[in-house]
Chains A and B, each alone.
Chain A
């Protein structure tokens, strides 16, 4: 079955360092992958999208990579700040081309 895995353990990072989050998937060939941020008690907020023919995408301090051979996406936050603390979810497009299959997210904690 199709499966998306994100590290269920919280990731603790010192302020100023680069945080790297991982999204692995199996039994699927997505056309694109999206990353969202979710704060406690709030809905997810879209951050970045990367297509299958793109290796890397950047937006300010954020960088996403997509390796279709490894079936993996990495999400990087450089110069991390305590305000970056949140849960980050990855999502893949489903066969319908607009529905998403979601990972459970990784909680990121940036320590001052």
Chain B
């Protein structure tokens, strides 16, 4: 089945130690998104790629970076994680050539900061 896969499911890192989260998709969708979601809150868009074009949200901290080496893979790098970065990180894809196309999510990476 075509899907969005995130690794790892759980990540523990130390305060200030860089961490990379990964996402892969077999849907061949143009757009890939990274969201941060904290408990009982709406998913917060960090950035997205439309093909190779990178789009950063205005309020995404500089601490967060992303790479998309090819259509299938996307990475989220947190350069110096702080305690406030503990959250669920969700990767999603969509194919916006048709209006209203839904986003397809992976099961997320739960990031804990020690």
Residues of A within 8 A of B90 (CB): 43-44
The answer to whether B40 touches A103, judged by C-beta atoms less than 8 angstroms apart, is: no
Give chain B interface residues in 67-113, CB to chain A under 8 Å: 88, 90, 92, 94, 96, 99-108, 110
In the assembled complex, which residues on chain B have CB atoms less than 8 Å from the CB atom of A51? 100
Number of interface residues of B (CB under 8 A): 25
A38 to B9, CA, bound (A): 16
- On whether the beta carbons of B96 and A97 are closer than 8 Å, the reply is yes
B99/A97 in contact, CB under 8 A = yes
Residues of B within 8 A of A89 (CB): 42-43
Q: In the bound complex, how far is the Cα of B6 from the Cα of A102, in angstroms?
A: 21
Interchain Cβ contacts within 8 Å, total number? 55
Residue of B nearest to A8 (CB): B40
Q: How far is the CB of B48 from chain A (nearest CB, A)?
A: 7
CA distance A45 to B6 in the complex (A): 15
Tell me if A62 is interfacial: C-beta within 8 Å of chain B. Answer: no
Pick from A4, A42, A49, A104: contact of B100, CB below 8 A: A49
Among all A-B residue pairs, the 9 with the closest Cβ atoms: A43-B105, A98-B96, A46-B102, A102-B42, A104-B42, A32-B100, A49-B100, A43-B107, A42-B107
A residues neighboring B (CB under 8 Å): 4, 8, 31-32, 34, 36, 41-46, 49, 51, 89, 93, 97-100, 102-105
A to B CB contacts below 8 Å, 12 in the list: A8-B40, A32-B99, A41-B107, A41-B108, A43-B4, A46-B102, A49-B100, A49-B102, A93-B99, A98-B101, A100-B103, A105-B42
